[in-house]
Amino acid sequence: MNSLQFREYKKRHVNAIKLVLEQSKSKTLDEAAFPAYSHTNPLINWLFWQRIKITMDYLKKNAPYDVVLDFGCGSGVMLPFLSTISKKVIAMDIDFGPLEKIKEHLEFPDNIVFVDAREIFSNNFNADLLDAIISLDVLEHVDDLGNTLKHLYMRLRPDGALIISGPTENLFYKIGRRIAGPEYSGDYHERDVSEIKKALSSLATVKHIASLYPPISLFEIFIGVNNKVFTTNNITSTR
């Protein structure tokens, strides 16, 4: 996706988010990052969308795919793009309310299926092995990080990749959240990105993609490459 195409892609989603926010204000929309993706501050807006652009560019290099999963899809900002590079897209979240509001203003392709994120822990989740899983600014919120990573990792093909972004939670990040507004100032993260990376490294080979932006990094993007034999026999379901 070139710069012009990305700007048009971003514009469509931002316009839909703004329409939703005009009609409704709720904590669930804040948690799905609606205010961040449509923020009036150019720097904050650019920073959030740059995470999306970097992830798209990385995925595009290895496309096409058979099946990809967006774990914690939120407002669905990645879904239309994923549908163009994969035969099937699985969109997962624990609350599809925010996405349903977006779907009132944007049409999503037919090759996207929507699944409750808690199904990732179920033995009844019989999806094909996945070429890639993305989880952007999600895993800092989950209660049981280790168990979640294991269940995601076991769904990957032997050469599949789990692509993650997350906040550094350093002093500059916290100041930025305060400046961004009341939607971002609450203490709702369970951990920072370094803890996620450490937990993932016990399962996979971790490779750095990008930091936004050195020397003061607010977000990191990295992947865990599936290079180990990992089956359902290694997993103890807790859900």
What is the pLDDT averaged over residues 32-45? 83
Mean pLDDT of the chain: 85
Q: What percent of the chain has pLDDT over 90?
A: 59
CB 137 within 8 A of CB 190: no
The 10 Å Cβ neighbour count of residue 98 is: 24
Query: For residues 113 and 96, what is the distance between their CA atoms, to the nearest angstrom?
Result: 12
DSSP classification of residue 6 = H
pLDDT of residue 174: 67
**What's the mean pLDDT in 203-220?**
90
What is the strand order of the sheet 156-167 is part of? 112-116, 86-93, 65-71, 130-136, 156-167, 219-225, 205-212
pTM score: 0.87
pLDDT of residue 230: 42
pLDDT at site 180: 58
List Cβ neighbours of 187 (8 Å cut-off, separation of 6 or more). Answer: none
Tell me the per-residue pLDDT of 85-119, one tens digit each, with 9 for 90 and over. Answer: 999 999 999 999 999 999 999 999 999 999 999 99
Q: What is the DSSP letter of 204?
A: S
Q: What percent of the chain has pLDDT over 70?
A: 85
Fold of the 3-234 domain: Rossmann fold (3.40.50)
pLDDT tens for 159-199 read 899 999 998 876 666 666 665 566 554 445 668 899 999 99
d(CA 88, CA 131): 10
Q: Cα–Cα distance between 173 and 105 in angstroms, integer?
A: 32
The strand pairing partners of 168, in sequence order, are none
Instruction: Identify the pLDDT of residue 32.
Output: 75
How do the domains of the chain map onto residue ranges? 3-234
